[in-house]
Amino acid sequence: MQDHIRERVLNIAAYLVQHNCTVRQAANVFAVSKSTVHKDVTERLPRLNKQLAGEVRRVLDQNKAERHLRGGEATRKKYKEKRISPVLAE
């Protein structure tokens, strides 16, 4: 594994554990795709640091268990913003 990839994997994993954030949020912070973050923490990380991989797995499992709540909140917010925004009628 190349050094810059190894460094990115460890940085992303540390960020996920420290901030308890989602894969999408981490992807935005590190300017990579969510697919890259997911591959880094599920495939590459266990080969580098098994203990950190376990901690990241717990965060990912928690996010998976809560995602239906976040999805509902995002939809609620989306439609609430549509109702509040003024419609320009001329």
Instruction: Identify the pLDDT of residue 57.
Output: 95
Give how many domains the chain has, as a whole number.
1
Instruction: Identify the pLDDT of residue 26.
Output: 94
Instruction: Identify the pLDDT of residue 78.
Output: 78
User: What's the whole-model pTM score?
Assistant: 0.73
The reply to whether 8 falls in a domain is: yes
The reply to whether 73 falls in a domain is: yes
CA distance linking residue 46 with residue 44, whole number of Å: 6
pLDDT 10s per residue in the chain (90 long)? 899 999 999 999 999 999 999 999 999 999 999 999 999 999 999 999 999 999 999 999 998 888 777 777 767 777 877 776 555 555
Q: Is 56 buried (19+), middle (13-18) or exposed (0-12) by CB count in 10 A? A: buried
Q: Where are the alpha helices (DSSP H) in the chain?
A: 3-19, 23-30, 34-39, 45-48, 50-84
The reply to whether 89 falls in a domain is: no
